[in-house]
């Protein structure tokens, strides 16, 4: 059994769990720098990065791809979070900043298992209108293109399921609502995506993130699990001691899953009774 999810190439298809948020105004970049865990000011126009928003206790509210479309405009491709709730909560912190935050309801996010026509690595291509945006979402498991446009794409459930499995195989956690605000960036191994900074200055949760980093207190991270059957969300145990949980499934997509577990964990595992094998995370999604 290969440890790489089987790709499906061809035309674009709809992928679920993504929405588009726009931040624009003279203070958009400054506001994002103060609120989000990644270094927004280091991002050049026409490029994107992984980033996120934390609670004051350093737990991840939402993960997103952040694009600098223009000097005074940022786009967030928000993964798995309620966009209206995200906008409402983030807007509470605008105060007198010159920034507008909006959910772009007329835009959809699509994917395909082929390399982008122009975009490469952290440089995206196109514009929100009229032609749409393309991002390089490929990794060691093969090429992928993520696109944002106003035009719909067909539903292809099998291809969409492979897309989500690809995400997990590369260490991109896809968090359902029960997992929001539960995990620190280190517990989700978001250093692999270069999604947070410990040097840029203050932001919500920064003290917890920096303390964990500099004191070497990160004891858990993501472990990739694979099984012959679908893996349910639940505790992870050693087969010899099924009554003692040593980790928890964070994301699952068919027979692929990511679990938050001790960094030194080895061996076969039981996830809610399903026998799993630990595999190396695939690389290539860091930007």
Burial label for 34, CB within 10 Å (0-12, 13-18, 19+), is: middle
Is residue 122's pLDDT more than 60?
Answer: yes
Residues 151/12, Cβ–Cβ less than 8 Å: no
Is residue 78's pLDDT more than 80?
Answer: yes
Q: DSSP assignment, residue 139?
A: B
pLDDT band at 4 (very low <50, low <70, confident <90, very high): low
Q: What are the pLDDT digits (tens) for 235-254?
A: 999 988 888 899 999 999 99
∠ CA 186-189-194, nearest 5°, is 95
pLDDT band at 264 (very low <50, low <70, confident <90, very high): confident
pLDDT band at 6 (very low <50, low <70, confident <90, very high): low
pLDDT score recorded for residue 180: 87
pLDDT (mean) for 59-70: 95
Rounded CA-CA distance 106/206 in Å is 34
pLDDT score recorded for residue 39: 97
State both tokens at 76. Answer: 């967030």
Give Cα 85 distance to the centre of its chain.
18
pLDDT score recorded for residue 154: 95
Burial label for 267, CB within 10 Å (0-12, 13-18, 19+), is: exposed
The proportion of the chain whose per-residue pLDDT surpasses 90, expressed as a percent, equals 78
Quick count: other Cβ atoms within 10 Å of Cβ 30?
Answer: 15
pLDDT (mean) for 19-37: 97
Terminal alpha carbon distance of the chain: 29
H helices, E strands: number in the chain:
4, 16
Q: Which helix (H) or strand (E) holds 208?
A: helix 206-214
Q: DSSP assignment, residue 39?
A: -
What is the average pLDDT value for the chain, to the nearest integer? Answer: 91
pLDDT band at 1 (very low <50, low <70, confident <90, very high): very low
- The pTM of the full predicted model, rounded to 2 decimals, is 0.93
Is residue 260's pLDDT more than 50?
Answer: yes
pLDDT band at 215 (very low <50, low <70, confident <90, very high): confident
Q: What are the pLDDT digits (tens) for 136-166?
A: 999 999 999 999 999 889 999 999 999 999 9
* pLDDT top residue among 2 and 116: 116
Buried b (16+ CB within 10 A) or exposed e, 154-185: eebeebbbbbbbbbbbbbbbbbeeebbeebbb
Across 26-40, 120-134, 174-188, 267-281, which has the greatest mean pLDDT?
26-40
């Amino acid at each position: 059994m290969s440890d790489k999810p089987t790709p499906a190439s061809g035309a674009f298809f709809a992928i679920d769990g993504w929405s588009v948020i726009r931040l624009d105004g003279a203070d958009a970049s400054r506001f994002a720098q103060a609120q989000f865990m990644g270094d927004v000011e280091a991002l050049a126009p026409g490029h994107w990065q992984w980033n996120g928003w934390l609670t004051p206790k350093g737990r991840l509210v939402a993960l997103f791809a952040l694009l600098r479309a223009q000097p005074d405009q940022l786009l967030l491709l928000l993964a798995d979070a309620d966009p209206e709730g995200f906008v409402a909560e983030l807007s509470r912190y605008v105060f007198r900043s010159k920034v507008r935050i909006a959910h772009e309801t007329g835009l959809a996010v699509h994917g395909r298992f082929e390399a982008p026509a122009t975009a490469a690595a952290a440089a995206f291509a196109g514009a929100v209108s009229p032609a749409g945006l393309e991002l390089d979402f490929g990794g060691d498991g093969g090429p992928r293109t993520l696109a944002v446009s106003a035009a719909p794409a067909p539903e292809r459930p099998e291809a969409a399921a492979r897309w989500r499995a690809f995400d997990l195989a590369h260490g991109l956690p896809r968090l359902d609502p029960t997992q929001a605000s539960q995990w620190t960036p280190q517990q989700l191994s978001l250093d692999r995506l270069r999604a947070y900074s410990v040097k840029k200055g203050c932001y919500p949760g920064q003290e917890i993130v920096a303390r964990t980093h500099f004191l070497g207190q990160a004891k858990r991270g993501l472990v990739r699990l694979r099984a012959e059957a679908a893996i349910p969300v639940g505790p992870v145990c050693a087969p010899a001691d099924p009554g003692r949980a040593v980790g928890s499934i964070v994301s699952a997509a068919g027979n692929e899953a990511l679990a938050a577990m001790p960094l030194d964990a080895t061996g076969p595992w039981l996830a809610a009774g399903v026998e799993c094998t630990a595999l190396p995370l695939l690389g290539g999604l860091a930007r």
